[in-house]
């Protein structure tokens, strides 16, 4: 099944993390906590651990997200991960995967993939291509 919703990032908080051993790259590596709210066929909230090598224009990120809410009217929780790279005005090498075995409630057995996109006006979308085992 495929479903979609919109989301807003309601918190983006940098977390002070020191790499050990200390290794400095041309792009700074950082960690942040995010909170999102979702609306539409995907509705609810999430807590995200976000890591990146990014200078504000160029870079890549990897995120692990814990979602609580409903998907197509089915309530529960599950985890999903996503990553992408950017050169400033584009997204490339995008990946989104639902963590198999992470679903609870009506979403127990959820698995699949999906995508994230951002409209020109800044609206964020999530799409899940999923099955319920």
Cα 41–chain centre separation: 17
What's the pTM value of the predicted model, to 2 decimals?
Answer: 0.92
Which residues are CB-contacts of 38 (< 8 A; sequence separation ≥ 6)?
A: 5, 6, 7, 44, 45, 46, 67, 69, 126
Residue 21, preceding peptide bond in cis (omega within 30° of 0) = yes
Q: How would CATH label the architecture of 2-132?
A: Beta Barrel (2.40)
The one-character DSSP state at 29 is E
Q: Give domain limits for the chain.
A: 2-132
* pLDDT tens for the chain, residues 1 to 133: 999 999 999 999 999 888 899 998 999 999 999 999 999 999 999 999 999 999 988 999 999 999 999 999 999 999 999 999 988 777 889 999 999 999 999 999 999 999 998 888 989 999 999 999 8
């Amino acid at each position: 099944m495929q479903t979609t919703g919109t989301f807003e990032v309601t918190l983006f908080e940098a977390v002070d993390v020191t790499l050990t051993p200390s290794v400095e790259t041309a792009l700074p590596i950082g960690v942040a906590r995010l909170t999102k709210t979702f609306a539409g066929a995907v509705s609810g909230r999430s807590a995200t651990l976000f890591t990146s090598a990014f200078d504000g224009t160029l870079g890549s990120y990897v995120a692990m997200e814990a979602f609580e809410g409903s998907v197509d009217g089915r309530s529960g929780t599950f985890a999903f991960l996503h990553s992408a790279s950017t050169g400033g005005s584009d997204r490339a090498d995008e990946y989104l995967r639902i963590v198999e075995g992470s679903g609870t409630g009506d979403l127990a057995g959820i698995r699949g993939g999906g995508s994230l996109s951002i409209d020109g006006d800044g609206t964020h979308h999530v799409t899940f291509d999923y099955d319920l085992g």
